[in-house]
């Protein structure tokens, strides 16, 4: 009877039962797409990572949401790196361990910062951002029960991709961000004609004094209605904010999930000038919350 060990990791937090949970399944080489999707739905988390060996001792991963495979995602990358270390598959090489994790978008550089043999922070370097279609506030904001006037008046609503295209929706006020509620039928119809995977709504204000941004990442079934912390979209948001001059400096702290009682935090850095961004670094802590074994008698 085939069995597959797995760990459940909370990413972008050092506190159990906060941040964004991700199941990391090992030895997934012989799992087909339909089985990986079924496992993801069984886990009922925003994403599940499936890890396998790659090349000369390297590692690759595939990420699934309950709806589909996704080419790149942030919190599964943080969770996968932590899980590889915890499982003893990726030995630490001192206070800094660097490796490439092969994803569907290509290799992603991952840095593991440790102290006393314990992982403290995991930083991924996301790809050079691609700025895609723009949309009018009157098209987008009603999808979330908000008036067009709630949008930031100086910048467009735009799809940005650092591996997965996400719709950047900047709002002026945290109060509007809090009351955003997705109109599922209207949203699904709109997305079918658009160029993004999911929407990222955010403000230039933290949920706590430590944060410079706060975001919500909403979606429609069969995916979960809200993601506690979205690392890929945080990278796209960073590129967007830097490109349009909404950040004074290229480094900031992003917050998400506090209103879901799953607070998460990331350190973010944009590399390169505003007009020619080279890459985005997004880092966060992680913590183990569960481990087990999948038993698949199929």
pLDDT tens-digit series, residues 181-201: 999 999 999 999 999 999 999
Same domain, 56 and 100: yes
CATH number for the domain including 22?
3.10.310.10
Same domain, 81 and 158: no
pLDDT computed for residue 109 by the predictor: 97
Same domain, 201 and 109: no
- Closest by Cα among 240, 249, 84 to 161: 240
Same domain, 143 and 244: yes
Positions in the chain short of pLDDT 50: none
Same domain, 142 and 13: no
pLDDT computed for residue 1 by the predictor: 77
Q: In this structure, what token pair is assigned to residue 17? A: 């039962």
pLDDT computed for residue 57 by the predictor: 74
Same domain, 184 and 60: no
Tens of pLDDT, residue by residue over 59-86, are: 999 999 999 999 999 999 999 999 999 9
Q: Which domain holds residue 13?
A: 3-126+285-295
Q: Domain count of the chain?
A: 2
Same domain, 38 and 181: no
| 282 contacts: CB under 8 Å, gap ≥ 6 | 74, 123, 124, 126, 231, 234, 235, 238, 254, 266, 267, 268
pLDDT computed for residue 172 by the predictor: 97
Same domain, 119 and 142: no
pLDDT computed for residue 102 by the predictor: 96
Same domain, 51 and 158: no
pLDDT computed for residue 54 by the predictor: 87
Q: In this structure, what token pair is assigned to residue 298? A: 């199929």
Alpha-carbon gap, residue 207 to 241, rounded angstroms: 18
């Amino acid at each position: 009877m085939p069995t597959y060990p797995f760990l459940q990791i909370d990413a972008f937090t050092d506190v159990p039962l906060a941040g964004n949970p991700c199941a990391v399944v090992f030895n997934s080489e012989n799992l087909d797409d339909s089985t990986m999707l079924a496992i993801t739905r069984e886990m009922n988390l925003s994403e599940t990572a499936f890890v396998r060996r790659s090349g000369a001792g390297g590692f690759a991963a595939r990420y699934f949401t309950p709806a589909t495979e996704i080419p790149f995602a942030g919190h599964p990358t943080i969770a996968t790196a932590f899980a590889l270390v915890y499982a003893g598959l990726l030995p630490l090489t001192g206070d800094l361990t660097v490796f490439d994790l092969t994803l569907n978008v290509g290799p992603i550089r991952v840095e593991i910062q440790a102290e006393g043999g314990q992982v403290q922070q995991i930083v991924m370097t996301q790809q050079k951002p691609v700025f895609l279609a723009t949309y009018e506030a009157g098209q987008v904001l009603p999808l979330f029960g908000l008036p067009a006037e709630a949008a930031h008046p100086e910048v467009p609503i735009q799809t940005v991709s650092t591996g997965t295209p996400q719709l950047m929706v900047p709002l002026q006020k945290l109060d509007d961000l809090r009351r955003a509620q997705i109109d599922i039928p209207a949203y699904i119809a709109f997305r079918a004609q658009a160029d993004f995977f999911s929407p990222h709504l955010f403000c230039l204000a933290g949920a706590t004094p430590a944060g410079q941004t706060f975001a919500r990442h909403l979606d429609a079934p069969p995916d979960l209605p809200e993601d506690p912390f979205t690392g890929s979209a945080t990278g796209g948001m960073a590129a967007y904010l830097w490109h349009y001059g909404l950040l004074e400096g290229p480094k900031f702290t992003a917050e998400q999930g506090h209103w879901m009682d799953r607070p998460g935090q990331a350190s973010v850095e944009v590399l390169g000038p505003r007009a020619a961004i080279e890459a985005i670094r997004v880092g966060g802590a992680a913590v183990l919350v569960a481990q087990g074994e999948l038993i698949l008698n199929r």
